[in-house]
């Protein structure tokens, strides 16, 4: 693996796609609906086309898993791409959104980057090399108890049908923590756990592109990720929990009654 070339390709793709997002916020161009609540804007498509072009030029035979197109290739090297995480925010001109790109070799995440073009914040990690925010080392928070914690969550796109399953989890945490935020961009939420801005996060039904890059960033920043039963998180898990590690056991206790939710 040519780490240097992978990293420079990753950075170029993140920054160029981020530029597209920054310059098109405010256009309010929803061009498609995947479902009643799941939107696609012109920016999702344009950012994805830009990223794919950059990666395919550098690594023509690598596989791609992108949100807006069918999977490509069968190489042991795979890029996992969310060109715009936070589309609903973006479509309403609420500037909380990012680009997320993970790189995997033989099924193991090796590099990941998440770029927030509205704050010019680039979160990055390479396996075994630590995590960074704009080149400064990142570390999870030191908050030791749930009662002192600020958590974050999100609700999947089937929330109208499944509200009665999702809201009890929210209530259970609400009774125990200092605060809960719902920002609308899961990749950024996870990076904020890595940065110590949130102490923990949970959400059901994330897709591989929502979390691939951020999973490695959290791990490399000293945090942990699991399903609601405590098993280490995989890209295909439906239940996602992440934390600074210190509050993980307490989070799992709150999640215990909900181990069947989403399945």
Residues that bind ligand IPD (CB under 6 A): 82, 85-87, 154-156, 184-186, 203, 206, 210
Q: Residue 52: name its binding partner from ligand IPD, Ca ion, none (Cβ under 5 to 8 Å by kind).
A: none
CA distance 217 to 195: 9
Give the nearest distance from C-beta 112 to ligand IPD in angstroms.
15
Q: Residue 154: name its binding partner from Ca ion, ligand IPD, none (Cβ under 5 to 8 Å by kind).
A: ligand IPD
Give the nearest distance from C-beta 34 to ligand IPD in angstroms.
8
Q: Is 67 in the site for Ca ion (CB under 5 A)?
A: yes
Q: Are strands 179-181 and 150-153 parallel, antiparallel or unpaired?
A: parallel
Is 211 exposed, middle or buried (CB count within 10 Å of its CB: 0-12, 13-18, 19+)? buried
Q: Residue 110: name its binding partner from ligand IPD, Ca ion, none (Cβ under 5 to 8 Å by kind).
A: none
Single residue of 82, 116, 237, 250 touching Ca ion by CB under 5 A: 82
Q: Are strands 98-105 and 77-85 parallel, antiparallel or unpaired?
A: antiparallel
List beta partners, residue 98.
85
In the bound state with ligand IPD, the residue whose beta carbon lies nearer, of 82 and 219, is 82
Residues in contact with Ca ion, shown as a per-residue x/- string from 140 to 169 under the rule CB under 5 A = ------------------------------
Single residue of 110, 189, 210, 220 touching Ca ion by CB under 5 A: 210
In the bound state with Ca ion, the residue whose beta carbon lies nearer, of 85 and 219, is 85
In the bound state with ligand IPD, the residue whose beta carbon lies nearer, of 78 and 205, is 205
Show contacts with Ca ion in window 13-42 (CB under 5 A).
none
Give the nearest distance from C-beta 197 to Ca ion in angstroms.
19
Give the nearest distance from C-beta 84 to Ca ion in angstroms.
5
List beta partners, residue 176.
none
In the bound state with ligand IPD, the residue whose beta carbon lies nearer, of 85 and 237, is 85
In the bound state with Ca ion, the residue whose beta carbon lies nearer, of 156 and 222, is 156
Say which residue the tokens 């951020």 belong to: 214
Q: Residue 143: name its binding partner from Ca ion, ligand IPD, none (Cβ under 5 to 8 Å by kind).
A: none
In the bound state with ligand IPD, the residue whose beta carbon lies nearer, of 14 and 246, is 14
CA distance 237 to 225: 11
CA distance 219 to 103: 15
Q: Is 189 in the site for Ca ion (CB under 5 A)?
A: no
In the bound state with Ca ion, the residue whose beta carbon lies nearer, of 43 and 247, is 43
């Amino acid at each position: 693996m040519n780490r240097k070339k992978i990293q420079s390709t990753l950075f170029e793709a993140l920054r160029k796609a981020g530029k597209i997002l920054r310059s098109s916020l405010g256009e309010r161009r929803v061009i498609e609906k995947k479902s009643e609540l799941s939107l696609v804007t012109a920016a999702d498509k344009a950012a994805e086309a830009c990223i794919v072009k950059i990666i395919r030029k550098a690594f023509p035979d690598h596989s791609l898993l992108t949100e807006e197109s069918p999977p490509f290739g069968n190489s042991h090297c795979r890029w996992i791409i969310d060109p715009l995480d936070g589309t609903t925010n973006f479509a309403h001109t609420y500037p909380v959104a990012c680009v997320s790109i993970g790189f995997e070799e033989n099924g193991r995440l090796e590099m990941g980057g998440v770029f927030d073009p509205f704050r010019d914040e680039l979160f990055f990690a390479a396996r075994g090399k630590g995590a960074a925010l704009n080149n400064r080392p990142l570390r999870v928070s030191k908050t030791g108890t749930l009662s002192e914690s600020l958590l974050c969550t999100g609700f999947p796109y089937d929330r109208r049908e499944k509200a009665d399953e999702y809201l009890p989890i929210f209530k259970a945490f609400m009774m125990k923590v200092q605060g809960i935020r719902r920002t609308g961009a899961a990749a950024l939420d996870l990076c904020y756990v890595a940065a110590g801005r949130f102490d923990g996060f949970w959400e059901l039904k994330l897709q591989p592109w929502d979390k691939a890059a951020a999973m490695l960033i959290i791990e490399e920043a000293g945090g942990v990720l699991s399903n609601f039963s405590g098993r280490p998180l995989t890209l295909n898990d439906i239940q996602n929990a992440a934390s600074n590690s210190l509050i993980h056991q307490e989070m799992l206790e709150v999640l215990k009654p909900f181990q069947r939710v989403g399945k």
